[in-house]
Amino acid sequence: MADFTITIAVTGSMGGQSFSWSRTATVANIDAALYGLNSSVQTNSGLGSDSAGGFSIDGHHDYTGVAVACFVHNNPGTIIKINPIDTTGTVYASVIMPPNVPMIYYGGAGAGFTGTFNSSNTATDTPTVDMVGMISAEPLIGSGSIAGLYGLKPVS
Amino acid sequence: MPNASIAFSASINDGTETKSLSNSGTISCTQLVSGSQTVGNTYEVFATAYGNPSTVIIYNTGAVDASIRVTLQSGATNAYHFLNCIAGGMVVVPCMWGDDNKVWTNLHARSDSGTVTLDYCIIR
């Protein structure tokens, strides 16, 4: 078992004043990790689907959900939309990823919320839907690459 | 327009090798804000976009999970997306979500139980 560590640092300068913010997050006791690159995101391609041009982790693990997953791309002038998918193939929490802005998802870790995400019209809902590691990525502007790193351990 | 630099890295040594993902780049912005807020177990306003597309990075300093609720408004109807920010975890809320590629209007946060303190960085 190992630790999955994520660090984000933001710096900037405006009006002669400097800004700096940095945090490190750790998920402990990860059993296994998967890494994937998709060099050319096409419509209906997937990091976790069987679509042509996609990258699939489907069948590569037996967990009911991922403990942590993160994605990023840095293609100038390219905007990618990612569509996380649950075990039934339903899309939740689709998000638009501009270059250099990562996305991070966590599975329920036992105590606490039981899922990674949710989407609804009910304001009092909470994250109850597991993410098995499947996303589809589609180009909104341009066609670029995207990379993902997954950490796996039993989730609630 | 000024830029903010974002450096991101993720890594794990799974006993066989180190797998890592990293990226460094810039995004345009006019405001940078950092702070900390403690929320209870019902949704509280965490940030508003004030009409400006905003990216928010949230770090959970506490010992319980936090739910981050993203609000997308379409007339009188709200659509919500929820993210689990586990204890000790960090999530990113980009400015556009959903099937209709909407800019979010409000962020709310709540703890799973008790209170939890969330550190945040807003890039607007």
The reply to whether residue A111 touches residue B20, judged by beta carbons under 8 angstroms, is: no
- Chain B hits for A117, CB-CB cut-off 8 Å, are 81-84
Q: How many other CB atoms are found less than 10 A from the CB of residue B50? A: 9
- Does residue A142 contact residue A115 with C-beta atoms inside 8 Å? no
A98: left (phi over 0), alpha (psi -120 to 50) or beta: beta
Condensed to tens digits (0 to 9), the pLDDT of residues A75-118 reads: 888 888 888 877 777 888 888 888 899 999 998 876 789 899 99
- Does residue A67 contact residue A30 with C-beta atoms inside 8 Å? yes
Q: What pLDDT was estimated at residue A53? A: 33
Inter-CA distances, B31 with A20, B4, B15, B28, Å: 13, 9, 42, 9
The reply to whether residue A100 touches residue B87, judged by beta carbons under 8 angstroms, is: no
A65: left (phi over 0), alpha (psi -120 to 50) or beta: beta
pTM of the entire structure?
0.92
The reply to whether residue A126 touches residue B82, judged by beta carbons under 8 angstroms, is: yes
The span from the CA of A82 to the CA of B75, in Å, is 25
Give the phi and the psi of residue B48 in degrees, each rounded to 5: -125, 155
A10 CB near a chain B CB, below 8 Å?
Answer: yes
Instruction: Point out the least confidently predicted range of A72-81, A133-142, B50-59.
Output: A133-142
- Does residue B113 contact residue B56 with C-beta atoms inside 8 Å? no
Two tokens, residue A14:
């405006």
Condensed to tens digits (0 to 9), the pLDDT of residues B24-47 reads: 999 889 999 999 999 999 999 977
Q: Does the interface predicted TM-score (ipTM) exceed 0.85?
A: yes
Exposure letters A131-143 (e unless 16+ CB within 10 A, then b) = bbbbbbbbbeeee
Give the distance from residue B51's alpha carbon to the nearest chain A alpha carbon, in angstroms.
Answer: 17
pLDDT of A156 strictly over 70: no
| B70-86 mean pLDDT | 87
Give A147's DSSP letter.
Answer: E
Q: What pLDDT was estimated at residue B102? A: 85
Q: What is the DSSP string of A46-78?
A: EESS-STT-B--TTS---SS-SEEEEE---TT-
The reply to whether residue B88 touches residue A151, judged by beta carbons under 8 angstroms, is: no
- Does residue B108 contact residue B82 with C-beta atoms inside 8 Å? no
Highest mean pLDDT among A82-86, A143-147, B70-74: B70-74
Q: Would you tell me which residues 24-83 of chain B have a C-beta closer than 8 angstroms to some C-beta of chain A?
A: 24-27, 29-30, 32, 34, 43, 55, 57, 59-60, 64-65, 67, 69, 77-83
Q: What pLDDT was estimated at residue A52? A: 34
